[in-house]
């Protein structure tokens, strides 16, 4: 009985250690500033987050790729960030209004 309990506890501890890795984080907010390869995003809870943009960062609007130049202060965007918590992998921009 003790061995079974020990195995269960060890499994739970190991699972909790690795449960957070291997996925991106998503932030929703308004772009406060874009400067070169950095972006500041203000989220709905009024917190500001600074992120790094890279050559691999993808920008999309309505499922179509757009250039980095489409990312401007004042836009409400969804930002996907890598496991490091600071590198942006993808930015979803709002639909363009004509």
Give all domains of the chain, ordered by start, each with its CATH number: 23-93 (2.40.50.320)
Strand partners, 92: 60, 78
Average predicted confidence (pLDDT) for the chain:
83
Percent of the chain at pLDDT above 90? 69
Is it the case that residue 97 has pLDDT exceeding 70? no
Model pTM score: 0.73
pLDDT in tens, 23-32: 558 999 999 9
Contact criterion met (CB below 8 Å) for 20 and 14 = no
Which tokens hold the place of 82? Answer: 């890598």
């Amino acid at each position: 009985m003790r061995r079974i309990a020990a195995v269960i506890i060890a499994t739970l501890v190991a699972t909790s250690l690795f449960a957070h890795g291997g996925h991106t984080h998503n932030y929703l907010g308004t772009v406060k500033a874009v400067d070169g390869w950095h972006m500041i995003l203000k989220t709905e809870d009024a917190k500001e987050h600074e992120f790094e943009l890279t050559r691999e960062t993808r920008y999309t609007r309505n499922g179509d790729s757009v250039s980095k130049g489409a990312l401007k202060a004042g836009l409400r965007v969804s930002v996907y960030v890598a496991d490091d918590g600071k590198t942006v992998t993808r930015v979803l921009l709002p639909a363009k209004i004509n």
